[in-house]
Structure 1
Amino acid sequence: MKTNSSHSLLTVPTGPLKILELPPNSVGISSESIHLSLVIPTYKERDNIKNVVSILSQLLDESIPGNYELIVVDDDSPDRTWEIAQSLLTEYPQLRVMRRQQERGLSSAVIRGWQAATGSVLGVIDGDLQHPPEVLTQLLRSVDEGADLAVASRHVDGGGVSSWSIVRRVLSRGAQMLGLVILPGVLGRVSDPMSGYFMVRRSAIANATLNPVGYKILLEVIGRGKVDQVAEVGYVFCERKEGESKVTWKQYIDYIHHLVRLRLSTGQVGRLSRKVNFPVRRFLRFGLVGFSGVFVDMAVLYLLSDPTTLAWPVTPSKIIAGEIAILNNFFWNDAWTFADVSARQQQWQQRLKRFVKFNAICLAGLVLNVLILNLVLNFIIPNRYIANFIAIAVVTIWNFWINLKLSWRVTDVK
């Protein structure tokens, strides 16, 4: 049996989001592993947390007494949820509390909790009682019977939602259908890939580096883990009684971003990237940003050079259009393509330095672009827009490779 001998907070793990194959030895905790580690990620759940811990403890004390731990991982809530949870440590010896001050996000909170966990089975449940606690025993039974992953689903027998609006139902189903198109090999394995209520064997995700976006940690577990057998248990998603909902449009955008990133990193593109040692995923992001710049470039070129608008000469029109597209591309590359580097170089001087380099490199590419444009326009295809598109495509590889080596240098980090 494991109990807390200290009222101190857990140390927040750092480094890659990777789960160890063997449970870590934590201060104040015996080295013997337990069966279930259940993570409860929280943010502004002051009004819920005491009730959640009480209900879960009572339930698990009846089913697996002393053979579990509850790990509250709080993202430094302004209502001091972590402090309320910490005050419960004496009353609930299986409870552990982590306060994160440097990181944010539900998915990463779950993984950090699992990194500190000692259980052979890892689970997650919301901290707002929207996930019915009584389903826990069914999920655990499924794992004990051989499942690598047991998911609480709203879309199997016994499942559903209590009082969702039509709009929310449509968005949920639409997100699932989109996921099936982008990542069928992952989302096709479960009926409710949006679920945030599940259990997984530690061995199924051990040593896999997880890289989540937003709330949908289950996508990472299925996409990057070694999950063979999957079980599903129906549950009814309930509306929260206390606190405020955290569902926003940003969560849907993060979901799409997550799907695309998983697709690129786990499919043929990811395997190709590892095989040839070329940053294929980063190049594809760079290409997508460049594609957005094409529309900016084309729109400005039309406004400046088309006979029905200003009718300026093609060359000066192209120079102005290209510079505006460069501004667009720098913003998106800094925020997305090279976000991992930018996050460690956030001072305005560093950002300005990156922009100057990016601009200089792209201006050199613009000179090349103008030459190709004129060559194609005058000698091959007498259509300014097709010629412009060909010129942009040729210069894209130049811009990516030089910017990778000079503008966003991974080694140029303090």
Structure 2
Amino acid sequence: MISIQQKHQLPVPSGLLQVSRLPQSFSMDGSAASTSSLVFPIYFSLIIPTFNERDSIEKMVAQLSQILDEVLPNDYELLIVDDNSPDRTWEYAQHLTDQYPNLQVMRRQQERGLSTAVIRGWQAARGEVVGVIDADLQHPPEVLLKLLEKIDRGADLAVASRHVEGGGVSSWSATRRILSRGAQLLGLMILPRVLSSVSDPMSGYFLVKRQAIAEIPLNPVGYKILLEVIGRGNIRQIAEVGYVFQEREVGESKVTWRQYKDYLHHLVRLRVDSGRLGHWGKQINFPVGRFIRFAFVGLSGLLVDMALLYFFYAILSFGLTRSAIFAGELAIVNNFLWNDRWTFKDLAQKQFGRQQTLKRFLKFNIICLMGLILKILLLNLLFNGFHLNAYLANFLAIAIVTVWNFWINLKLNWRVTQVN
């Protein structure tokens, strides 16, 4: 007998964060299926990402269902995507599926984050139009009708905005208003094409036609999924609808300083990917953004190496050779830690345990040693063979070895060799 925990619980998609196109009918697991087990597309799928929203979720589902039952009877679905909430939001939501037949629940236990939760929901969705709304009742459900109307009139993307006629915030502090506007101005400087296309680029309440984002690899950071949709999607026409952002009725706000850091990181990533470097990287299948992070880490390692060389040699009087060995190895440790936690963080998280981390560290040491030998060979070739200036030859050798170190680490060290 199927338990309430299993009933209406969607399997969590895996692999690339990429939304497929909808065929006439399909099997949810992608396998061959009989006619009786095929799933047929519908018009609208609304994703509700949750984390500790048990106290508000029933009211939210009730309001959404009442609105959509009137305008899209049996042609919509609500998908709650819960990040394994400690308050067991996912379990409580599953108890609501008998009362609300258009409701389904997905429980994620391996991944975290609002943006990826939304995309995983879209991957499992059956709608020709997909959307997202917060579960905390800060996004008024009735605005959905206006957003759907904009889509029906030809918009590829319909955004609920706090900064157009009819929009606003209920009782934000002056500090929060300044931070919000400051973040938007910063975005305009870094990524003007994306940020200038809508009045509220940080909105988390919008609908988009599936065909506008289908078959496009998405790579979001943090909470601002709308940036990813505009920056990477095939969006031709955008419409906006004003709404007043409400204060939470229950629970606590999830706005933290980390969200602002993730926002900045996302802007820079989109800027790189959408610029000439990103275009060049796509042409030769080279991960430019990841390489830039690797290069920054290498620069930090150079600073660590120079500072420690001075410390060991000038202050502790260890001798030049021994000081250089100590400084070089500690710089390698610095580089490994930053690369493991930043450059290759997504890949490192799929290789669990201290033993796997130690293996990556030992491989990183070996690759760096090989890189040092390669650098010396290149330096001599460029200086003695091509008679380049010594400093130019050294710079070119470092540049070539940096690319080599990155590529070898990506392919041999941080690659996922085992899926648990």
What TM-score, normalized by structure 1, do the two folds share? 0.86
SS in structure 1 of the partner of residue 272 of structure 2: helix
Would the alpha carbon gap of residues 216 and 296 (structure 1) be closer, same or farther in structure 2, given more than 3 Å must change?
Answer: same
CA distance in 2 between partners of 1:288 and 1:354 (Å) = 19
1:399 to 385, 400, 405: 405
Task: Please say if 1:245 is aligned against 2:253.
Answer: yes
* Conserved? CA contact 1:82–1:98, under 8 Å: yes
CA distance in 2 between partners of 1:178 and 1:167 (Å) = 16
Task: Please say if 1:166 is aligned against 2:174.
Answer: yes
CA distance in 2 between partners of 1:92 and 1:298 (Å) = 64
| Partner residue in 2 for 1:321 | 327
Letter in 1 for 2:306: M
For residues 111-141 of structure 1, the C-alpha deviation after alignment (integer angstroms, 9 at most, x for no partner) is: 1211222221111100000111121111111
Task: Please say if 1:178 is aligned against 2:186.
Answer: yes
Q: CA deviation at 1:411?
A: 4.9
Q: CA deviation at 1:178?
A: 2.2
Task: Please say if 1:362 is aligned against 2:368.
Answer: yes
Q: CA deviation at 1:355?
A: 1.0
Q: CA deviation at 1:278?
A: 3.3
Corresponding residue pairs, total: 401
* Conserved? CA contact 2:42–2:128, under 8 Å: yes
1:46 to 54, 77, 82: 54
* Conserved? CA contact 2:8–2:97, under 8 Å: no
**Superposition map of 1:219-258 within 5 A:** 219-258=227-266
| Partner residue in 2 for 1:353 | 359
* Conserved? CA contact 1:205–1:221, under 8 Å: yes
* Conserved? CA contact 1:36–1:122, under 8 Å: yes
CA distance in 2 between partners of 1:29 and 1:71 (Å) = 20
Would the alpha carbon gap of residues 206 and 402 (structure 1) be closer, same or farther in structure 2, given more than 3 Å must change?
Answer: closer
| Partner residue in 2 for 1:3 | none
| Partner residue in 2 for 1:73 | 81
**Superposition map of 1:265-304 within 5 A:** 265-304=273-312
What TM-score, normalized by structure 2, do the two folds share? 0.85
CA distance in 1 between partners of 2:115 and 2:324 (Å) = 44
* Conserved? CA contact 1:322–1:366, under 8 Å: no
Would the alpha carbon gap of residues 249 and 389 (structure 1) be closer, same or farther in structure 2, given more than 3 Å must change?
Answer: farther
* Conserved? CA contact 2:163–2:200, under 8 Å: yes
CA distance in 2 between partners of 1:393 and 1:311 (Å) = 32
CA distance in 2 between partners of 1:361 and 1:112 (Å) = 36
CA distance in 2 between partners of 1:29 and 1:162 (Å) = 47
Q: CA deviation at 1:312?
A: 7.0
| Partner residue in 2 for 1:84 | 92
Would the alpha carbon gap of residues 203 and 352 (structure 1) be closer, same or farther in structure 2, given more than 3 Å must change?
Answer: same
| Partner residue in 1 for 2:12 | 12
For residues 46-68 of structure 1, the C-alpha deviation after alignment (integer angstroms, 9 at most, x for no partner) is: 10011001111112223333332
Would the alpha carbon gap of residues 78 and 277 (structure 1) be closer, same or farther in structure 2, given more than 3 Å must change?
Answer: closer
CA distance in 1 between partners of 2:240 and 2:303 (Å) = 45
**Superposition map of 1:368-379 within 5 A:** none
Task: Select between 348-357 and 261-270 the one with higher mean Cα deviation.
Answer: 261-270
Structure 1 unaligned regions, length at least 5: 1-5
Would the alpha carbon gap of residues 139 and 329 (structure 1) be closer, same or farther in structure 2, given more than 3 Å must change?
Answer: same
* Conserved? CA contact 1:330–1:355, under 8 Å: yes
CA distance in 1 between partners of 2:363 and 2:37 (Å) = 52
CA distance in 2 between partners of 1:279 and 1:58 (Å) = 46
* Conserved? CA contact 1:7–1:90, under 8 Å: no
Task: Please say if 1:126 is aligned against 2:103.
Answer: no
Q: CA deviation at 1:249?
A: 1.7
SS in structure 1 of the partner of residue 106 of structure 2: strand
* Conserved? CA contact 1:294–1:389, under 8 Å: no
Letter in 2 for 1:333: N
CA RMSD in angstroms, aligned pairs only: 3.2
* Conserved? CA contact 1:150–1:198, under 8 Å: yes
Letter in 2 for 1:360: I
For residues 71-122 of structure 1, the C-alpha deviation after alignment (integer angstroms, 9 at most, x for no partner) is: 1111221211122211122222222222222222111111121122222111
* Conserved? CA contact 2:350–2:416, under 8 Å: no
Structure 2 unaligned regions, length at least 5: 1-5, 29-35, 384-388
| Partner residue in 2 for 1:338 | 344
Q: CA deviation at 1:189?
A: 1.1
SS in structure 2 of the partner of residue 89 of structure 1: coil
Would the alpha carbon gap of residues 59 and 324 (structure 1) be closer, same or farther in structure 2, given more than 3 Å must change?
Answer: same
